[in-house]
Amino acid sequence: MKRLCVFSFKLIALVFTAANVYAQGCTTPPCAPNTVPCAHCIGTWTDDATATWTLTSPANPTTWNTFYTVTGTMRNQTRGPGCPVVTYQLQASSSSINPQEVAGQKGWSYIVWDARNPSPSTSCNGQTPLARITYRGQVFNNGCDFSNGTWDNSGGGHGTFTATKPSEVPTGENTRAVAWWSLNPTVMIYEQTLFATNDMAGRQVYEASNGTPVDNCWFTTSSYRPAALSGGGWYVGYYFFDDRWHYDYVGYDSGAVTYYRANHRTPCTATIPQAMRIYTNDRGNGPTGSLQYATDTLILNIPDSVNYGTSRAGVQAWRTYP
Amino acid sequence: MIATSALLAETITIDSPRPLADAVEQIAKLSGPAINYEDVRVLNGADIQDVTDQISRKQVGPNDKRSLGPRGGKLSAQIIVDPTTQTLPDVMSAQNALNAVVNAYNTSGLPGKFKIALGNMSGALYVAPTAERNSTGQTVSFTPVLSSRITLQAVKQTAYVTLEAILGEVSKVSRQKVAMGMIPFRAFAVAEVTIGADNEPANDVLARLFDAVSKAGADVNNVIPAMSYDMLYDPQWGYAFNILVIPNPNIKQPLPAQQTPPVNDGRFNSKP
């Protein structure tokens, strides 16, 4: 009986070794859940009734779970041909975006777009602009280009809406070498900052092939496989709710460095073309589109028996190893 | 090289230092399931080649260490692929293809013998040696290194540290040096796992680790994340444990732009 108890305990211990993992991104994107909410709703949104909402909110908010004021205009021409475009002003005191983050859940941003004071307010085709229409809903992350929710107006009407805007795409990214990885001293950790006018927090980027890698340290009888992209997706703004994404790990295993040197392969390099893409069009169930925003090259460099280097997008890191 | 006939039988022909590893790699590219591969040791002088002069980038002196590698040879086998997709779409077709190349290898006179196994938990396939050719030229039975039974304390830590611990245990139990090879560092750096083992085959522990790391943060409703290993032997250095991320066959394709008519629900205007 005692042995049985011991066995049972071990069995339970094994059962409970099931993984419970959550990570900043993943290896096979798209990754989920992206907990980082969209930082802003800046841009021109077109709703399902063809009205356009040209909105501004703080471009670089510093934190989530905070209300940020939204201003701008809404224009519609929904009374038929010949009637003028009606322009509403967003009420700053009641229009807001509130990015929400809850651990383990997909991030979202509450929005209230409260449009008032139509101009002109006169009738046309027997229809008169209502004094107020308010949208309440959410902007979904990853793409930050789709929102939905409910509307109500000063006439007592209510319903649901969807709105989209052109997805913002960074013009590139800056790379910074942060540190050699403590667990493998020939792997450099790189941090990236997206080039964008408005905060890109809430978006998701991923790496993709941009050509065939060339590893001329590798040789035909090598027991190490040639260097290659491993694939990965990252959440923008995960640590600091800004334009940064963390981290790209670039390098040979330290044992491989020793191996290639001992096999008289130096000087040698591996060159790995990398494309960076950003996801778009997430309607709540994960992104369904993406756009390339940057290309670069990863280089692993073993020039001799002492020095070792890596490079990402031209940002070099050198050390002596061992 | 792959040649295709009208019967959708493809012939895999390889002449390389590790023909079976290369054949398995080709089959893996055609198939969905993860295929794990463990090399056979090469111990007999006839199975080892001195590649120093071929691979050296500098003058190698008489006192410098020579570079040795497996000699390998030629392997040819016919496999059957799906007539429509030219792939091996399921475990059975992949297993049949592996059987073909392993049978061809085992009758080729190349060192060692291999077997194929289907993982208990993972659904992954394993190609591992069951016999090796020893230094005197005899073929003797061999227990796959990654069948070694290992014990690990279940501790929450990065997957990288767990992998190091597993390979360390395997090296200790099997008395074969197993070093970290090319692996997706970032995946193993950021994933935290709690994986233990109680006298369990290393392959099963690795399957759990791979499952945890590949699914960490993945959108499992829309992707089928998977990893496999490729453990290659060097006569001077022992084994290098390489990890491959399986290309994902199930990533959502971008939706075509939808042209939906605008709604006319009177939300902006009062009606007469």
B125 in Cβ contact with B98 (< 8 Å): yes
Q: Which residues 145-184 of B have a C-beta within 8 angstroms of A?
A: 154, 158-161, 164, 179-184
Q: Is the peptide bond before B225 cis (omega within 30 degrees of 0)?
A: no
| pLDDT value of position B257 | 58
Q: Which residues 213-232 of A have a C-beta within 8 angstroms of B?
A: 219-228, 230-232
Separation between Cα atoms, residue A8 and residue A286, nearest integer Å: 41
Q: What are B249's two structure tokens?
A: 């066959």
Contact A159 B265 (CB under 8 A): yes
Task: Tell me the one-letter amino acid at B137.
Answer: G
Contact A49 B194 (CB under 8 A): no
Mutation target for B interface from A263, A268, A291, A304: give the one with most B CBs within 10 A.
A263
| pLDDT value of position A20 | 35
A320 to chain B, closest Cα gap in Å: 20
Tell me the pairing of strands B35-38 and B125-133: parallel
Contacts of B258 (CB under 8 A, 6+ apart): none
Separation between Cα atoms, residue A90 and residue A52, nearest integer Å: 12
Condensed to tens digits (0 to 9), the pLDDT of residues B39-52 reads: 999 999 999 999 99
pLDDT for residue B20 is more than 60? yes
Mean pLDDT on B63-72: 96
Mean pLDDT on B107-132: 92
Could you report the average pLDDT of every consecutive run of 10 residues in chain A (322 residues)?
Answer: 30 33 76 95 97 97 94 95 96 96 92 98 95 98 97 97 97 98 98 97 96 97 96 94 96 98 97 97 91 98 98 98 98
Task: Tell me the one-letter amino acid at A297.
Answer: T
Identify the CA nearest to A232 among candidates A244, A242, A218, A247.
A247
- Give the residue on A whose Cα is nearest the Cα of B60: A264
| pLDDT value of position A291 | 95
Contact A183 B255 (CB under 8 A): no
Residues of B in contact with A290 (CB under 8 A): 254
Q: What are B40's two structure tokens?
A: 């056979």
Separation between Cα atoms, residue A196 and residue B4, nearest integer Å: 50
* B119 in A contact zone (CB under 8 Å): no
Q: Can you say whether the dihedral through the CA atoms of B191, B194, B199, B200 is positive or negative?
A: negative
How much of chain B exceeds pLDDT 70, in percent?
92
Looking at every residue in chain B, the average pLDDT score rounds to 91
Q: Would you call A69 exposed, middle or buried from its count of C-beta atoms within 10 A (0-12, 13-18, 19+)?
A: middle
Residue with tokens 């913002």: A168
Contact A225 B182 (CB under 8 A): yes
Separation between Cα atoms, residue A220 and residue B180, nearest integer Å: 19
Separation between Cα atoms, residue B241 and residue B164, nearest integer Å: 10
Q: What are B192's two structure tokens?
A: 């935290």
Task: Tell me the one-letter amino acid at B225.
Answer: P
DSSP 8-state code for residue A185:
T
CA geometry: angle A55, A57, A62, nearest 5 deg: 160
DSSP 8-state code for residue B56:
-
A209 to chain B, closest Cα gap in Å: 12
| pLDDT value of position B127 | 98
Concatenating the DSSP letter of every residue in A263-299 gives: TT--SEEEEEEEEEEEEEEESSS-EEEEEEEEEEEEE
Mutation target for A interface from B68, B186, B231: give the one with most A CBs within 10 A.
B186
Residues of B in contact with A133 (CB under 8 A): 267-268
pLDDT for residue B85 is more than 80? yes
Q: Would you call A173 exposed, middle or buried from its count of C-beta atoms within 10 A (0-12, 13-18, 19+)?
A: buried
For residue A246, what is the enclosing H or E element?
strand A244-251
Please count the residues of chain A.
322
Q: Which residues 141-180 of A have a C-beta within 8 angstroms of B?
A: 151, 153, 155, 157, 159, 161
Q: Exposure string (b/e) for B232-253, b if CB count within 10 Å is 16 or more?
A: bbbbebbbbbbbbbbebeeeee
Which residues, in sequence order, are bridge partners of residue A57? none
Q: What are phi and psi of A268, to 5 degrees?
A: -155, 160
Q: Would you call B2 exposed, middle or buried from its count of C-beta atoms within 10 A (0-12, 13-18, 19+)?
A: middle
Q: Exposure string (b/e) for B176-186, b if CB count within 10 Å is 16 or more?
A: bebbbbbbbbb
Q: What are B72's two structure tokens?
A: 């390998």
Task: Tell me the one-letter amino acid at A2.
Answer: K
Identify the CA nearest to A45 among candidates A147, A158, A136.
A147
DSSP 8-state code for residue B145:
G
Residues of B in contact with A225 (CB under 8 A): 181-182, 230, 232, 242, 244
Identify the CA nearest to A279 among candidates A211, A212, A194.
A194
Contact A78 B223 (CB under 8 A): no
A185 to chain B, closest Cα gap in Å: 12
Q: Which residues 57-86 of B have a C-beta within 8 angstroms of A?
A: 57-58, 60, 64-65, 67, 69-70
Residues of A in contact with B18 (CB under 8 A): 221
Q: What is the largest CA-CA distance in chain B?
A: 101
Looking at every residue in chain A, the average pLDDT score rounds to 92
Separation between Cα atoms, residue A197 and residue A39, nearest integer Å: 12
Contacts of B135 (CB under 8 A, 6+ apart): B43, B44, B45
pLDDT for residue B271 is more than 90? no
| pLDDT value of position A12 | 31
Contacts of B61 (CB under 8 A, 6+ apart): none
| pLDDT value of position B58 | 86
Condensed to tens digits (0 to 9), the pLDDT of residues B192-217 reads: 999 999 999 999 999 999 999 988 88
Mutation target for B interface from A221, A224, A288, A310: give the one with most B CBs within 10 A.
A221
| pLDDT value of position B90 | 85
The Cα-based distances of B88 to A66, A188, A212, B35 in angstroms read 52, 38, 24, 12
ipTM of this complex: 0.93
CA atoms within 13 A on the CB side of A277: 19
Identify the CA nearest to A251 among candidates A180, A193, A315.
A180
Q: Which residues 95-124 of A have a C-beta within 8 angstroms of B?
A: none
Residues of B in contact with A247 (CB under 8 A): 186
Separation between Cα atoms, residue B74 and residue B78, nearest integer Å: 14
Band (pLDDT 50/70/90 cuts) for residue B253 is low
How many other CB atoms sit within 10 Å of the CB of residue B216? 26
B159 in Cβ contact with B166 (< 8 Å): no
Band (pLDDT 50/70/90 cuts) for residue B250 is low
Separation between Cα atoms, residue A248 and residue A256, nearest integer Å: 19
